[in-house]
Amino acid sequence: MNHSSASDREEAQALRAQLQEHNYRYYVLDDPSVPDSEYDRLFQRLLALEQAHPDLITQDSPTQRVGAAPLAAFKQVQHRVPMLSLDNVFNAAELLAFEKRIHDRLKSEVPVDFVCEPKLDGLAVSLLYRDGLFVQGATRGDGETGEDITQNLRTLSTVPLRLMGEGFPSELEVRGEVYMPKAGLAELNQRQTSAGDKTFANPRNAAAGSLRQLDPRITAKRPLELYCYGIGHVAGGTLPARHSAILAALGKWGFRVNPEIRSAANAAECQRYYDALLARRDALAYDIDGVVYKVDELALQQRLGFVSRAPRWAIAHKFPAQEEITRLLDVEFQVGRTGAVTPVARLEPVYVGGVTVSNATLHNMDEVARLDIHVGDTVVVLRAGDVIPRIVRVLPERRPPYAPVVMLPAACPVCGSAITREEGEAVARCSGGLFCPAQTKEAIKHFSARRAMDIDGLGDKIVDQLVDTGLVASVADLYSLASASLAALERMGEKSADKLVAAIAKSRNTTFQRFLFALGIREVGEATAQTLARHYETLDALLRADEASLLEVPDIGPVSARNIVQFFAQPHNREVLDRLLAAEIHWPAPVKADVSALPLSDQTLVLTGSLSQLSRDEAGDHLRALGAKVSGSVSKNTTAVYAGEKAGSKLARAESLGIPVYTEDELMSLLREHGRL
């Protein structure tokens, strides 16, 4: 072993003290005095010293939070002071009754001060310190006996390994709640999903599961934190006479104490605290399921004593439950504005999260399969704040015989069109995009957009009114609108109505490419529409195409080919298409030209940034007229990128791939060279 020198020992001791101070300022005071980089530098220096001289490693070293070797099993710990549970109250009347019981037992009407604390939804633990050094940590267990999780607790940055300051008893047992912040749970579940492991339903389950790992190295990787709320066994010293003062002392000794803790002079003030915290519940970084009220004065706590396994001087005021059990009556399918078909659970009404819930989202069929949900199942419903209620798990042991499995319908429940679901996609969709009433507004907005049919003046609010008043049920109805009916709409006078009718009439003269893009076929954007228009030249030819022939078209893949065929195969879509053609929508007859002879036919170009001499849309049209494919993203197949002002990620991507980048002036020169300007 390479023994350390006196200077090494002094440096290691100084580094430990600095890191401990920085941890205290960061985790307890929430007021870091150095940037993370400086902390990391100090930490790495201490780590290097300890690796070079193992005799420098101490139990309280910040480097010792990584977790030790796995345990065969947890040892049992007897709590010298029982970790009691709390009785509950659920409303203001029960809270007043709690206060009255205190006054009756004390035989006094003198106001009693309370301390109000958030009731974290985590795992209660006990931390034992001897001469300021953390020596043992345990779970609450049954209140009398817990499990020794010392090595796991040592991995938590918010558990001080050595107390700060002075004045603490030689033996001090601190009680607290280990929890997982909401953001930490989201991050952990993302990692679990990426690794193919099981995710956690809520922060409490995640905290409990993480803290009770036999391998502390797993615990060390979990985003666990600790708030302290009280004390247990104390020897070799004295503590303040009030609970609030004890909490203040714990903060000075290095423990995190919840900043939401407040004092209250009576039950009415306790109730106001409860109401205020309930209103902010969802904005907190962690889950709480209520608040706790404690008599502040320790002498009064001793006089009040205990009843059964709960103190008479403290009570938990529970928030409305966010999870409840109910029965799944049926599953219906709703169609969204983009055609997404979503399963919705119809529930036996249940009071959860402060409201009566009778519906819950199931998201998609993958979620239905994950839950293994059957009609008639008993389910657990979660509602947190204003979040849409959702089913989080099923109780299969309560499943009735022959409970039917939930199946995706073959046809749209709104319009009867086929429902499709691409391989690898979670969302199923109605294929009746032009016809389906659930999709009408979005279909019209897309159809009339500038890059599609370019109907000037047909904004979102007018579209909403047209559909809501029944004037328009599909895009084909636009071409039968009259000025008189439009003028009757809100904020739409005769002049505006005449302008809109004229704009609709003008849109009849379009291009095959724009028309195809306007139809809103999934996976058919502007570039694909242009490719289809060039290849098939006429709508009749495209309507006769099958998937095999579509796959022969450059840049048309299996998904696009399938979507195109399915779209035109829907009778409802064909009906709307016929009506559009009957409304005299037309485009120039194809000019027979050898596209391969065009000067840029073999090039894939990308435009990025702001152009000053013409718009990107105009530049794109010029380039397409010269035979180029204009793409919206940079890939290894990109020929060149033309970059204007404030070009961003596309420019960086091109440079990283070594793709030529040209300026706007060079673009103008190219267009002039080929007679486009």
Q: How many CA atoms lie within 13 A of 131 on its CB side?
A: 1
Identify each DSSP E strand in 421-553 by its residue range: 428-430
Measured distance CA(508)–CA(586) in Å, rounded: 6
Measure the CA angle with vertex 441, ends 555 and 331; round to 5°: 90
Measured distance CA(512)–CA(327) in Å, rounded: 53
- Is residue 309 within 8 A of residue 84, CB to CB? The reply is yes
Pairing label, strands 225-235, 262-264: unpaired
Residue 596, classed as helix, strand or coil, is helix
Measured distance CA(312)–CA(192) in Å, rounded: 43
Chain centroid, CA 52 distance in Å:
44
- Identify the helix (H) or strand (E) that includes residue 152: helix 150-153
Residue 578 sits at φ, ψ, to 5 deg, of -60, -40
Environment class of 241 (CB within 10 Å of its CB; exposed 0-12, middle 13-18, buried 19+): exposed
Query: Between the CA of residue 601 and those of 27, 140, 224, 676, what are the distances in Å?
Result: 62, 73, 58, 15
* Gap between the terminal Cα atoms of the chain: 80
Q: Where are the alpha helices (DSSP H) in 232-336?
A: 243-252, 267-280, 298-304
Measured distance CA(38)–CA(32) in Å, rounded: 11
Query: Between the CA of residue 426 and those of 190, 391, 421, what are the distances in Å?
Result: 17, 18, 8
Say which of 119, 294, 629, 650 is annotated catalytic: 119
Chain centroid, CA 676 distance in Å:
48
- Is residue 125 within 8 A of residue 229, CB to CB? The reply is no
Helices 460-468 and 440-447: angle between axes, nearest 10 degrees? 140
> In the annotation, is 119 catalytic?
yes
* Active-site amino acid positions: 119
